[in-house]
Structures are given as structure tokens and as C-alpha cells.
Copies of this chain bind each other. A is one copy, B any other.
Amino acid sequence: MNKNTMFNIIESDLTRLEAELLSVIHSPVELIKNISDHLVQAGGKRLRPALYLVCARSKSVNEAQIMPMAAAIELIHMATLVHDDVIDNASTRRGKPTANARWDNHASVLTGDFLLAKAFSIVATNVNNNMLKVLTDVMCSMCEGEILQDQDTFDPDQSEDQYLIRIAKKTADFIAASCELGGMSADLSQAEVEALKKFGYSIGMAFQITDDILDITASSEQIGKPAGNDLRQGIVTLPVIYALKNSERKSELREIILNRVPTEAAVKVGLKIVHDTAAVEYSYQRVADYLCEARSVLPQSIPSGLRECLLEVADFVGLRKY
């Protein structure tokens, strides 16, 4: 199958995925249904299920398995987002009100739990135990990543390594698992599955670093949430870690982070201090490194249509501005 045929198929898969998501979140409890509908309709890039589907369609295709699995992957992602928004007390995501803002924390925590249970429920009967283990383990890893992030907030002394471990657990491991699960669905060889997992990991790292750069550089309109949000919450990201080490005004930036409840003016000053260094260039260089690694781990043995698709995903992650 060539790349374009594959893209067309995945596009139609992703349309089916939206219907699948709306159908599996059915609950007799109206409030759960309303919140879940809101979450599905708020949209998103669907990056994880898309990567899963691309990999899962690369060789033998298990039609009964792929749509539930793709839906489960997105449901888990949605559940973590809805819990994150509760934790961060966020009022908007992707330019739309969050569940906790529109309803309340109670209902949002419980709907998150419901989506998690639903995710495991829909794959329980369609997926083998090894795949299920990948999915549950990565969920554990994500929780660990979020807790690490929580522990690291307001700490200007954290290292780049600490940051990388955290975003691996928070983001990259799940994107890696999405590719890995796709390879397992398609019945690829163990070495190929391993390569897909590594590809996903590098893409995931590049993706999260880009996210963290955009929080510094993008306008609120572009990213659908207020810019400088991380700094405001004390989440110290790669560009900020760079500036804390290399800026002439590093002690001023340090104070802004230690302050815990910075004024809007202080957030602006913080962003300017970061901008005035080579932090953004440095961070984009790390993104480029990860993307280079992602491209290089894909062996020739991988079906060529899949290989081309994945390389295109790597290009997309490198270019995205939102």
C-alpha cells in the first residue's frame, strides 16, 4: 500500500473514530453522557489513535480490533486531560470551556474515571493480554509523569534531565505505546514493533517540547489557552530551564518562579527574559534531534507505505505551530 492510499484510509478511519467515540461513551446517566459528548466534540489532534491506526494497518489488519483499540487510546488521553484540567483548575482547552469549568470538579473527576474504565472495558474483549498490559502500564507511567511534574513545580533548580524524564512519562511513553500497539495489532515482528515504539517515543518527546515552546511563543488564539500558562503555574519547561542557566537576568526569572503567584506583569517579564536568550532556538534544536532520531530508528524492513506515513508525521510534528 502506498502512502497516499494509506492516508486516505486513515482519514476515513478517523471519521469512523469520532462516531465510535460518541457511541462507546454512552451512559444511562445523562450528566456523564453530556460531559463525555462535550469532551469528544471539543476535538483534538487525535495524534495517538492516528499513529496507532497507521501502524495497525501496515500489514495484517485485524478489523475487529483496531477501532475499539483506537477509541480506547483516545479515551485514556481524554480522561487524563479532564483530570489535568481539574488539577490545574483550567478554564479553557482548545479555546473551549473545560468540563470542570462548565460543570464542576466532582463530575469531572468521576467522568474521567468513567472514561478510563470504559477504555479498558471496550478493549477487554477485543485485545490480547500483552496489548492490554502495554496500555495499563503506560497509564501508570502517565500518572507518575504528572506527579513528577507536580513535584517539580516552582523549582528553578531542576535539571534538563529531570524535565526529560518527566515529559517521557507524561507524554512520550503513551505515544510510543500507541505505535507499539499498532505494530502488535498488525502482527509485525518483535524487532519492528520495538522500532515503532522507539519512533513513537522520539516523536512524543519532540511533540511535548514543541508544546512547551509554543506556550512561550504562540498567541492565545493559536493554542486555544492563555500563553505563558506554564510559567504562571510554575511548570518549568525546557526553554525556561535554558534561560535559568544562560540568561543575564537569571536571578530575576528565578524570583518570578519562586514567587508561586506571579502577577500577569511578572509572567510577561518572565516570557521576555526567556525570549531574549537562545532558549527557543535551543529547544527547537532538541526537537530536531528527536525527530532525526525518530526518522533513523525506522528500519527498511518496515512496510514502505507505513514508513512513508510515519516520516510525514515526523515532518508534521516539526512544523506545527498550534
The contact size tier of chain A is 35 or more
A193 at the interface (CB under 8 A from B): no
Within 8 Å CB of A111, what residues of B? Answer: 143, 147
A205 at the interface (CB under 8 A from B): no
A109 at the interface (CB under 8 A from B): yes
Q: Which residues of chain A (36-85) have a CB below 8 Å from chain B?
A: 79-80, 83
Known: A132-B132, A137-B121, A148-B29. Is A87-B113 also a contact (CB below 8 A)?
A: no
Within 8 Å CB of A109, what residues of B? Answer: 83, 86-87, 109
Q: Complex: how many Å from CA A120 to CA B144? A: 16
A113 B143 Cβ-Cβ under 8 A? yes
B117 A125 Cβ-Cβ under 8 A? no
A129 at the interface (CB under 8 A from B): yes
Q: Complex: how many Å from CA A321 to CA B253? A: 58
Residue from the list B79, B107, B136 in contact with A150, Cβ < 8 A:
B107
Residue from the list B31, B121, B136 in contact with A117, Cβ < 8 A:
B136
Quick one: CB contact mask for A113-132 with B, threshold 8 Å, 1 for yes?
A: 11011101100110001101
B125 A133 Cβ-Cβ under 8 A? yes
Within 8 Å CB of A83, what residues of B? Answer: 109-110, 113
A273 at the interface (CB under 8 A from B): no
B116 A87 Cβ-Cβ under 8 A? no
Which of A125, A136, A147 has most chain B Cβ within 10 Å? Answer: A147
B129 A31 Cβ-Cβ under 8 A? no
Quick one: CB contact mask for A234-261 with B, threshold 8 Å, 1 for yes?
A: 0000000000000000000000000000
Residue from the list B32, B117, B139, B147 in contact with A139, Cβ < 8 A:
B117
Q: Which residues of chain A (77-108) have a CB below 8 Å from chain B?
A: 79-80, 83, 86-87, 105-107
B124 A133 Cβ-Cβ under 8 A? yes
A158 at the interface (CB under 8 A from B): no
Residue from the list B110, B116, B121, B133 in contact with A113, Cβ < 8 A:
B116
A285 at the interface (CB under 8 A from B): no
Q: Complex: how many Å from CA A116 to CA B137? A: 11
B116 A124 Cβ-Cβ under 8 A? no
Q: Least Cβ distance of A210 to chain B in Å?
A: 24
Within 8 Å CB of A129, what residues of B? Answer: 124-125
Residue from the list B79, B110, B136, B139 in contact with A146, Cβ < 8 A:
B110
Within 8 Å CB of A151, what residues of B? Answer: 29, 31
Q: Complex: how many Å from CA A140 to CA B28? A: 11
Within 8 Å CB of A150, what residues of B? Answer: 31, 106-107, 110
A27 at the interface (CB under 8 A from B): yes
Q: Least Cβ distance of A33 to chain B in Å?
A: 10
Q: Least Cβ distance of A87 to chain B in Å?
A: 5
Give A residues with C-beta under 8 Å from B.
27-29, 31-32, 79-80, 83, 86-87, 105-107, 109-114, 116-118, 120-121, 124-125, 129-130, 132-133, 136-137, 139-140, 143-144, 146-148, 150-151
List of 5 A-B pairs having minimum Cβ-Cβ separation, nearest first: A121-B136, A117-B139, A114-B143, A124-B132, A124-B133
